[in-house]
Amino acid sequence: MVIQKICCLGAGYVGGPTCSVIALKCPDIKVTVCDKSVDRINQWNSEKLPIYEPGLDDVVKQCRGRNLFFSTDIETSILEADLIFISVNTPTKTIGNGKGRAADLKYIEGAARMIAEIATSNKIVVEKSTVPVKAAEIIMKILRANTKPGVEYQILSNPEFLAEGTAIVDLVEAERVLIGGEETAEGQKAVQDLCWVYEHWIPAKNILTTNTWSSELSKLAANAFLAQRISSINSLSAVCEATGADVSEVARAVGRDSRIGPKFLEASIGFGGSCFQKDILNLIYLSECLNLPEVAAYWQQVVNLNDYQKTRFTRKVIESLFNTVADKKIAILGFSFKKNTGDTRESPAIYVASTLLDEGAKLHIYDPKVEHDQIFYELMHPLVTSEPERIQKGIEIHSSAYSAVSGAHAIVLCTEWDEFKTLDYKKIYEVMMKPAYIFDGRKILDHEALLNIGFHVQTIGKRLSRTSSIRAQGSQTMP
């Protein structure tokens, strides 16, 4: 089959950018991205896209209306598509069996049932969402149990490896594309059809083909490995703070070993984002179901360490501020889970902010890309607080870092946005309460310069002493 029309179910952080790049690179294919959410589709069709992703606006502008369409008309798109991506959300279950760990596959099942109900011709159905191993079997069972006469399905696994904030580059210059399929002749033919789509811009040697289950597991494995590196370096950051070693120096020395490599060794206040925790929990649950408790315990520790890191950092903030933050004004710089995205899912800033709010602090929050309503949504969510009204009163959202810090006792930097590196900290020091504190949860600021200005500075994985800078300044007294 030559793929002429593609439909994608789910116009989120993955479906939107992935299909936009497919449309860009495959002008001969009509790509329609569908969602149940009318709001989301309206935004994709507007000037202000629903997600902030560097480079995405340009790609959408080039293709939208040409061979890229965003639509709520799921029926027509399924009917005419040769290939359907399922790119719906797979959150952690919040109720029932496996609550708090297992992936909730209700949206995957819903998408499969929609396809089964609507399709009247052969389809290649591609699982793009991240799922537990064997999820393709669920899709297969639903589709094949509801097949109309003459309609055949092939189910492929094609997990997505993009990271938010760099999604367009990750898609355009993908290090690898992974496609898993059934080992039958028809299955392999479908694999080749999807390879053909990617070969429009990805060198064939970078397209890996495997069986379906290897492909599904590789996605969970990749995220587990990446998160494990962060928890490993974060565990060492605590050792550094206790000993006087510097975690950046340790990461540099360790990462120089080509077997280890330098990437993903940045100690932080903990990893966030919609994927790492969810996918490791998914792997843990899968291991338990397979009666592999030692494997489950191994990966559980990666999550535990991440929780420890968030708690450790927040405790440090409170203890440094004389063990009470009640009624103190604290500026939170950055709320997204990493720079270059407006996404706040599982952002470590949520834990930091909600703990400080519980302690009675008045938070003044600034993030360059997160919508103000989104910050309230996260901090007033029933899973975060049982007192949303009290929490709301403790939060003020700002449109600039300078207005957030004015009159603050402390700055808590939660996201590594570049603009925070170049703020005028002398000016900021002048307008803050004294002693003025900065807690750099991302190790991005010039700590020596801040100490020289007079700030009390704490960061991750490094003890900062004011002695050297005080000596340099001559007269500054330490409270």
Q: Which stretch binds ligand NAD (CB under 6 A): 29-37, 247-255, 363-371, 407-415?
A: 29-37
Is 88 annotated as ligand-binding?
A: yes
Question: Considering CB distances under 5 to 8 angstroms, the limit depending on partner class, which of ligand NAD, ligand UDX, none binds residue 90?
Answer: ligand NAD
CA-wise closest residue to 355 among 336, 373, 332, 374: 332
Question: Which lies closer to ligand NAD via its Cβ, residue 91 or residue 203?
Answer: 91
Question: Which lies closer to ligand UDX via its Cβ, residue 180 or residue 187?
Answer: 180
Is 35 annotated as ligand-binding?
A: yes
- φ/ψ of residue 314, rounded to 5: -65, -40
Q: Which residues bind ligand UDX (CB under 6 A)?
A: 160-164, 223, 226, 230, 264-266, 268, 271-273, 275-276, 337-338
Report d(CA 86, CA 106) in Å as an integer: 12
Residue 127 makes contact with ligand NAD by CB under 6 A? no
Total interface residues for ligand NAD by CB under 6 A: 28
Kind and range of the H or E run holding 7? strand 5-9
Question: Considering CB distances under 5 to 8 angstroms, the limit depending on partner class, which of ligand UDX, ligand NAD, none binds residue 110?
Answer: ligand NAD
- Is the distance from CB of 272 to CB of 337 less than 8 angstroms? yes
- Is the distance from CB of 316 to CB of 355 less than 8 angstroms? no
| Sign of the C-alpha dihedral computed for residues 264, 268, 272 and 278 taken in this order | positive
Question: Which lies closer to ligand NAD via its Cβ, residue 74 or residue 330?
Answer: 74
Question: Which lies closer to ligand NAD via its Cβ, residue 11 or residue 125?
Answer: 11
Residue 31 makes contact with ligand NAD by CB under 6 A? no
Question: Which lies closer to ligand UDX via its Cβ, residue 69 or residue 420?
Answer: 420
Question: Considering CB distances under 5 to 8 angstroms, the limit depending on partner class, which of ligand UDX, ligand NAD, none binds residue 15?
Answer: ligand NAD
Question: Which lies closer to ligand UDX via its Cβ, residue 77 or residue 237?
Answer: 237
- Is the distance from CB of 307 to CB of 387 less than 8 angstroms? no
Question: Considering CB distances under 5 to 8 angstroms, the limit depending on partner class, which of ligand UDX, ligand NAD, none binds residue 354?
Answer: none
Question: Considering CB distances under 5 to 8 angstroms, the limit depending on partner class, which of ligand NAD, ligand UDX, none binds residue 129?
Answer: ligand NAD
Tell the smallest beta-carbon distance from residue 178 to ligand NAD (Å): 12
Pairing of strands 30-34, 207-211: unpaired
Secondary structure (DSSP) of 137-176 = HHHHHHHHHTPPTT--EEEEE------TTSHHHHHHT-S-
Report d(CA 253, CA 224) in Å as an integer: 23
Residue 361 makes contact with ligand NAD by CB under 6 A? no
Is 407 annotated as ligand-binding?
A: no
Is 316 annotated as ligand-binding?
A: no
Question: Which lies closer to ligand NAD via its Cβ, residue 329 or residue 345?
Answer: 345
Other CB atoms closer than 10 Å to residue 360's CB: what's the count? 13
Tell the smallest beta-carbon distance from residue 38 to ligand UDX (Å): 26
Tell the smallest beta-carbon distance from residue 347 to ligand NAD (Å): 13
Report d(CA 56, CA 21) in Å as an integer: 9
- φ/ψ of residue 218, rounded to 5: -60, -35
Q: Which stretch binds ligand NAD (CB under 6 A): 108-116, 144-152, 298-306, 425-433?
A: 108-116
Residue 55 makes contact with ligand NAD by CB under 6 A? no
Residue 168 makes contact with ligand NAD by CB under 6 A? no
Give the residue numbers marked as catalytic.
Answer: 275
- Sequence-separated (6 or more) residues with CB below 8 Å from residue 142: 109, 112, 113, 116
Buried b (16+ CB within 10 A) or exposed e, 82-120: bbbbbbbbbebbeeeebeebbbbbebbbebbebbbebbe
Report d(CA 343, CA 352) in Å as an integer: 16
| Sign of the C-alpha dihedral computed for residues 352, 355, 361 and 366 taken in this order | positive
Secondary structure (DSSP) of 267-335 = --S---SSSHHHHHHHHHHHHHHTT-HHHHHHHHHHHHHHHHHHHHHHHHHHHHTTT--TT-EEEEE--
Is 14 annotated as ligand-binding?
A: yes
Report d(CA 390, CA 386) in Å as an integer: 9
Is 420 annotated as ligand-binding?
A: no
Q: What is the CA radius of gyration of the chain?
A: 24
Question: Considering CB distances under 5 to 8 angstroms, the limit depending on partner class, which of ligand NAD, ligand UDX, none binds residue 338?
Answer: ligand UDX
Is 10 annotated as ligand-binding?
A: yes
Residue 158 makes contact with ligand NAD by CB under 6 A? no
**Per-residue x/- marks for ligand NAD, 251-280, CB under 6 A?**
-----------------------xx-----
Is 11 annotated as ligand-binding?
A: yes
Question: Considering CB distances under 5 to 8 angstroms, the limit depending on partner class, which of ligand UDX, ligand NAD, none binds residue 223?
Answer: ligand UDX
Q: Which stretch binds ligand NAD (CB under 6 A): 8-16, 195-203, 409-417, 439-447?
A: 8-16
Kind and range of the H or E run holding 373? helix 372-379
Is 92 annotated as ligand-binding?
A: yes
Q: Which residue numbers belong to the known binding site?
A: 10-15, 35, 40, 88-92, 129-130, 164, 275-278, 345
Q: Which residues bind ligand NAD (CB under 6 A)?
A: 9-15, 34-37, 40, 74, 87-90, 107, 110-111, 114, 129-130, 160, 162, 164, 274-275
Q: Which residue numbers belong to the known binding site for NAD(+)?
A: 10-15, 35, 40, 88-92, 129-130, 164, 275-278, 345
